[in-house]
Structures are given as structure tokens and as C-alpha cells.
């Protein structure tokens, strides 16, 4: 679904004008993200016998998730990094970033050795989780 202007404003304000995931203040270029992914894909529908070309159509794996209740405001970097992941897959993906930095980034390892960065080992918590928790209390 393409949200109307009032629906987009409703989505933008879901978490006080902040990104549902990292909690940064949303800028003009914020995205409406499907919290539970709809997973857009293509499927083969036919083949042309003459030129052997194939015809594909776009489809959604979970069309039932394409609704305003499932749309949350996200900053471009969270939305791009989350891509078609579920919330839990996104959480695991972020949790592995420190391991990747230690393995592949010389700059990160040096910055770590010199105490410029500190690993906390905390769990990845999304802004919408603390926001919803705060509203319950
Ligand atoms: Zn974000």
C-alpha cells in the first residue's frame, strides 16, 4: 500500500517523530518500513517458445502485512540495513556487527586497542520497544 499523506503523518508520529529502530529524529527523507516484512519478489509465469525469454511477475510473500498497522517510521540507514529481515533477524544482524568489525576492520581493532571504542556487550534493543514499554508504565 502507498500511504496517503495523513496516513504517512500518522506513521511518522507513531514513536514521537523518531525512528522505530535506532530512535534518531526523523528527517525529511524518512521511510515507512514494513515492521514484519512483506518480502517482494518475482516469480516465473511463462516462457516464450520462440526467443526462450521468460516472463516474471512481481508478488508479495505476505500481502496481509501490507497495512498501516505494520508500517513504522524508519531512518534511511535502518530501513536499508533491515531490508527484508524480520525484527529478530535485524536484531541478530546488528548484534554480529562488533564481531565483524573485530574480524575485518584493522581500524576498528586499532581504535579498540587504544581505548577509543568500548564494547558493552549489551543486547540490541529497538527504540519502539522502549517507547512501548514507557507508554505501559
Ligand atoms: Zn534508524
**Residue 114 domain-assigned (yes or no):** yes
Cell of 62: 505476505
Q: Give pLDDT tens digits along the chain (137 positions).
A: 899 999 999 999 999 999 999 999 999 999 999 999 998 888 888 888 888 888 888 888 899 999 999 999 999 999 999 999 999 999 999 999 999 999 999 999 999 999 999 999 999 999 999 998 888 76
* Residue 42 φ/ψ region, left for φ over 0, alpha for ψ in the -120 to 50 degree band, beta for the rest: beta
CA of residue 52 to ligand 1 center, whole Å: 44
d(CA 72, CA 79): 10
Sign for the pseudo-dihedral over CA of 21, 26, 27, 30: positive
CA of 59 to the centre of ligand 1 (A): 27
CA of 21 to the centre of ligand 1 (A): 5
53 domain-assigned: no
Any domain includes 81: yes
Structural domain that includes position 114: 5-37+64-136
Task: Assess if residue 116 is contained within a domain.
Answer: yes
Write down the pLDDT at residue 122.
94
Provide the pLDDT for residue 8: 97
Whether 100 and 109 have beta carbons less than 8 Å apart is answered as no
Distance 49 CA to ligand 1 centre (A): 47
| Tally of structural domains, the chain | 1
In a domain, 85, yes or no: yes
Question: Which secondary structure element, helix H or strand E, spans residue 102, and what is its range?
Answer: helix 97-104
Q: What is the pLDDT of residue 137?
A: 65
CATH number at residue 102: 1.10.30
d(CA 79, CA 82): 5
113 lies in some domain = yes
Q: Is residue 84 situated within a structural domain?
A: yes
88, three cell numbers: 529478530
Q: How far is the CA of 123 from the centre of ligand 1 (A)?
A: 16
Q: Which among 31, 23, 35 is positioned nearest to 2, based on CA atoms?
A: 31
Would you state the pLDDT for residue 43?
A: 84
Calculate how far, in angstroms, residue 50's C-alpha sits from the geometric centre of ligand 1. 49
Amino acid at each position: 500500500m502507498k500511504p496517503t499523506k495523513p496516513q504517512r503523518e500518522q506513521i511518522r508520529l507513531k514513536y514521537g517523530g523518531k525512528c522505530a529502530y535506532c530512535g534518531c529524529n526523523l528527517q525529511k527523507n524518512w521511510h515507512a518500513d514494513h515492521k514484519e516484512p512483506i518480502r517482494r519478489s518475482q516469480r516465473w509465469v511463462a516462457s516464450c517458445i520462440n526467443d526462450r525469454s521468460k516472463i516474471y511477475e512481481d508478488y508479495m510473500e505476505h500481502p496481509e502485512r501490507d497495512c498501516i498497522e505494520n508500517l513504522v517510521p524508519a531512518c534511511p540507514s535502518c530501513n536499508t540495513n533491515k531490508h527484508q529481515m524480520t525484527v529478530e533477524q535485524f536484531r541478530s544482524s546488528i548484534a554480529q556487527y562488533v564481531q565483524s568489525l573485530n574480524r575485518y576492520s584493522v581500524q576498528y581493532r586499532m581504535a579498540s586497542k587504544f581505548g577509543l571504542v568500548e564494547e558493552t556487550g549489551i543486547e540490541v534493543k529497538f527504540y519502539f520497544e522502549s517507547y512501548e514499554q514507557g507508554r505501559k508504565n
